[in-house]
Structure 1
Amino acid sequence: MASTNGASGEKSYFEQQRELLVGDVAASLENVLQNMNRLNRSLEGVIAVGNEFSQVEGLWSQFENVMAKEPEAPKEDTKEGAQNDRS
Structure 2
Amino acid sequence: MSKADDERSYFERERDRLAGETTAGFEELLSASNILNRKLEEVLGMTKEYQTIAALWGSFHELMRGQKASEDQQPGLPGTGGHVVSSSRHPGES
Instruction: State the TM bucket, normalised to the shorter chain.
Output: 0.5 to 0.7
Structure 1 segments of 4+ aligned residues over 3 angstroms from their partners = 59-63
Does the residue aligned with 1:12 lie in a helix, a strand or coil?
Answer: helix
CA shift, 1:21, in A, is 0.2
Q: Is 2:49 the counterpart of 1:45?
A: yes
2:36 to 32, 36, 42: 32
**Higher RCO (CA-CA < 8 Å; seq separation 6+):** 2
Of structures 1 and 2, the larger Rg is shown by 2
Gaps of at least 5 residues in structure 2 are: 1-7, 69-94
User: TM-score, normalising length from structure 1?
Assistant: 0.53
CA shift, 1:41, in A, is 1.1
Higher helix share: 1
- Share of identical aligned residues, percent? 2
User: TM-score, normalising length from structure 2?
Assistant: 0.50
CA distance in 2, matches of 1:55, 1:31: 36
- How many residues are matched? 60
1:12 to 12, 16, 35: 16
Q: Deviations over 1:14-47 (max 9, x none)?
A: 1110000000000000000111111111111111
Gaps of at least 5 residues in structure 1 are: 64-87
CA shift, 1:58, in A, is 2.6
CA distance in 2, matches of 1:12, 1:47: 52
| RMSD after superposition | 2.9
CA distance in 1, matches of 2:59, 2:52: 13
